[in-house]
Structure 1
Amino acid sequence: MKNSVMSVILALASMAAGLAQAGPLVDVTFKNLGREQAVLKIVTTNESSTYQIASPKPREKVEANTSILFRVQRIISPDVNAAMVRYTIGSKTCAFGTTFQMRMMPGGIKQPQWTKTATPSGGATCVATITSTAADYGWKVEFSMK
C-alpha cells in the first residue's frame, strides 16, 4: 500500500512539473474561404507533432465557408510554442505556421516574439494573422485559405 501511494504521488508530481514547463497556449482558427472542401495534409514532422498534441485535433476535412478551432501547447519549455498545419483544396495548398519564442536580449532582458507564416502553392491564397496576444504570452492566430 505504501509503495502504491508513493507511486501515485511521484506520478502527480511529474505531471505537475511537466505542466509548469509548458509554453504559452495558442488558439488556432482555420477558415476555409474556398468553394470546395479543404483537406488536411500532413507533410512535415512539425505538422505531425502539431496534430498529435492539438486539442481538439484539426479536422481532416473542412467544408467550404466554414472554420475550425484547435489549441496547441507544447511541453518543451515555457519559452517556446509553435503550431503548423497544411490544407489543400484541389491543387491549391496552404502551409501555415505560428511560433512563440522568448528571446534573451542584451542585459538579460527577455522579449517575447510571435511569428506567423502562410505559404501558398498551386494558385492558393493563404493569409496568417495574429489576432491577439495575452499577458501570459498566449496568443490567437487565424489562418485563412481560398
Structure 2
Amino acid sequence: MKKGTFALGLLLVAGAAQAGPNVNVTFKNVGTQNATLKLVTSNETSTYQIAKPPPAQTVAPGVPINFDVQRVVSPDVNAAMLRYTIGSKTCAFGTTFQMRVLPGGITQPQWTKTATPSGGATCTANITRTNADRSWAVEFTMK
C-alpha cells in the first residue's frame, strides 16, 4: 500500500484536469462510545478537505455517516482515506481505484479497500458496489 499511496501523492502533486470516479463512503460506528475523526496523513487530510459533505468529527454509536470523494487528478485514479478513534482504539481506513495497464496495453479497473486496526480495535472495509462508470461504494465499520 505504501507504493500506491506514494504514487497517489505524486499524482496529486502533478495535478491533471480530469476527475476520477466517485467513491461513496459509509462509516459505521458499531461500538458503544463516540468515534472521533483523527487526521494523521496528508491523504486523510485531503480526503477530509474534498469530501462532500466533510466526514463528521464525531460519530455516535449506531449512527452511520455518508460522504462522497472525487479527486480531480486523473480519470484513472481516486482514493479516500480516513481514521477514527474510540478511546485508545484506532481504525485507519482506505479505498482506492486505479485503472491498471496490463501487458499488451489492455486496461483493467482495480478497486481496493483496507482497514488497519490498532489498540484493540475491530475494523472492517467492504466494497459494496462497483459501477460501469467506475464509481464505487465502500463501507467502513469500527468497534
TM-score, length of structure 2 as denominator length? 0.88
Aligned to 2:99: 102
Aligned to 2:131: 134
Equivalent residue runs for 1:75-114 within 5 Å = 75-114=72-111
* Counterpart among 43, 52, 56 of residue 55 in structure 1: 52
* Counterpart among 18, 23, 46 of residue 20 in structure 2: 23
SS across alignment from 2:80: strand
Structure 1 residue runs of 4 or more that deviate by more than 4 Å after TM superposition: none
Deviation at 1:107, TM superposition (A): 1.1
Q: Which has the larger radius of gyration?
A: 1
Deviation at 1:65, TM superposition (A): 1.3
Aligned to 1:118: 115
Inter-partner Cα distance in structure 1 for 2:106 and 2:85: 41
Quote the RMSD (CA, aligned, Å): 0.9
Inter-partner Cα distance in structure 1 for 2:141 and 2:63: 10
Inter-partner Cα distance in structure 1 for 2:141 and 2:79: 17
For residue 19 of structure 2, what is the amino acid of its counterpart? Answer: A
Aligned to 1:37: 34
Aligned to 2:13: none
For residue 73 of structure 1, what is the amino acid of its counterpart? Answer: Q
SS across alignment from 1:47: helix
SS across alignment from 1:66: coil
For residue 125 of structure 1, what is the amino acid of its counterpart? Answer: T
For residue 85 of structure 1, what is the amino acid of its counterpart? Answer: L
Inter-partner Cα distance in structure 1 for 2:138 and 2:102: 25
Inter-partner Cα distance in structure 2 for 1:109 and 1:75: 24
Q: Work out the percentage of aligned pairs sharing the same amino acid.
A: 71
Aligned to 1:66: 63
Q: Write the deviation string for residues 26-56 of structure 1: whole angstroms up to 9, x where unpaired.
A: 0000000000000000000000000000000
SS across alignment from 1:123: coil
